[in-house]
Structure formats: C-alpha cells, structure tokens
Homo-oligomer: A and B are copies of this chain.
C-alpha cells in the first residue's frame, strides 16, 4: 500500500537517517507527514530558518515525537535531499539508457540539462537543500556521493559509445562534468532569468564539445 520511493539506480550511501525503522503503519505515514511539513516550511523560509519546533507544530506532534523519527535537523534535510537525488539519478539513467551513438549522447545530455534546469527553477525546496548541503559537513559528503553516482552513469554511457578513449580519462571527465553541471544549475538559478538561461546554454555548449570523435 505504501510504496516507498526506492532509488531504482544506485543509492548514493544510506546512512541511518531515520532514528528507528517505523514498524507501524501510522508511524510511516507520520514520517511522510513530517517530511511534507518540513518541505513546506523550507519552501516558505528556507531550511536554515526552519525551526524544529515549527515542524513539530505544523505536523501536529510534539518535539519529542519529531526527534523519535529524525535524530536531528540535518536528518530531515538529508532525507529530502536523498529523494531529490534519487529522482535525478533516475531521470539521468533513463535518459542515458537508450544512447548508442555519440550524437545520441549529445542530445541526451542536452535534454537532460534542460530538464534539470527546469526542475531547479520549479523547485525552490530543491535549491535550498542544495545550499544547505554545502553548509553542513555531513551533508557535503552526500553531494560528492551524488556527483560520483551521476558521474558513473555518464562514464558508462560515454565509454560505450566511445570505447577507444581511455577509461580513466572518461571517468575523471564524467565526474567533473556532472559535478559542474550541478554547480552551473546553482549559478543559473541565482541570477536573473535571461542570464541564467544563457549560462545554461553556455555550459551545454562547452560540454558538448567534449563529446566529439577526435580523442585529443
């Protein structure tokens, strides 16, 4: 009945972000409710200004209960981040799955970052969480894990359509590209719309040059 959003690709690294695995159905629903409230609060005021007391109040539970489910504030952000990341990985994986030629890789990459940019524009919560991840030491590890996971997806596809290129070079470049993609999104949404659009275009233009036949 309750279907959890199982990351269908590779989970980045699952720390125990829930204090106890909820065994009762009501508990699992409550976890979802807490996350929904937290998400709404982050949308309204940002994760930094979000107070644990507010989350508890909006969710209609006591602070004690809140801490029964999440060991600390970062765990809430962590969980939300993991969900967005899982969604990203999924769309990346499905976009790359059908790629068999370099030309297809180029158009898949292009489409991917258009989608990614739209997501960033549409989801203020996602944007905020990305910033929060940079702030916290623990959460920063998630970002790296995420870049690595996405980098692997790109590297596999890339190596498939261009087997003559050294694997190490592909892997390094793939990690860098996916990481810089995230950085570009953050930059693009932090400036005004037309400039953001141009920045994303510039990024795509720059990266697409990498996916060419001549192995320099």
Complex Cα distance A180/B207, Å?
A: 12
- Looking at A172, A176, A179, the one whose CB has the most chain B CB atoms below 10 A away is A176
Q: Does A150 contact B (CB under 8 A)?
A: no
Asked whether B137 lies within 8 Å of A134 as measured between CB atoms, the reply is no
Q: Which of A23-31, A103-111, A115-123, A197-205 contacts B (4 or more CB under 8 A)?
A: A197-205
Task: Tell me the A135-188 residues at the B interface (CB within 8 Å).
Answer: 135-137, 140, 144, 147, 168-169, 172-173, 175-176, 179-180, 183-184, 187
Instruction: Count chain A residues whose beta carbon lies closer than 8 angstroms to a beta carbon of B.
Output: 36
**Shortest distance between the CB of A123 and any CB in chain B (Å):** 18
**Shortest distance between the CB of A46 and any CB in chain B (Å):** 8
Q: Does A20 contact B (CB under 8 A)?
A: no
Complex Cα distance A201/B206, Å?
A: 16
Complex Cα distance A172/B199, Å?
A: 6
Quickly give the copy total for this chain. 2
Given contact pairs A183-B179, A190-B144, A206 touches B202 in the complex (Cβ within 8 A): no
Q: Does A54 contact B (CB under 8 A)?
A: no
**Shortest distance between the CB of A159 and any CB in chain B (Å):** 15
Ordered by A's residue number, 30 sampled pairs between the chains whose C-beta atoms are within 8 Å are A46-B137, A48-B137, A131-B140, A132-B135, A134-B134, A134-B135, A135-B135, A140-B190, A144-B190, A169-B202, A172-B195, A172-B198, A172-B201, A173-B205, A173-B206, A175-B199, A176-B184, A176-B187, A176-B199, A176-B206, A179-B183, A179-B184, A180-B180, A180-B183, A180-B184, A183-B183, A206-B206, A206-B207, A209-B209, A209-B210
Q: Which 6 A-B pairs have the closest CB atoms?
A: A135-B135, A134-B134, A183-B183, A172-B198, A172-B202, A173-B202
Which chain A residues have a beta carbon within 8 Å of chain B's beta carbons? 46, 48, 131-132, 134-137, 140, 144, 147, 168-169, 172-173, 175-176, 179-180, 183-184, 187, 190-191, 195, 198-199, 201-203, 205-207, 209-210, 216
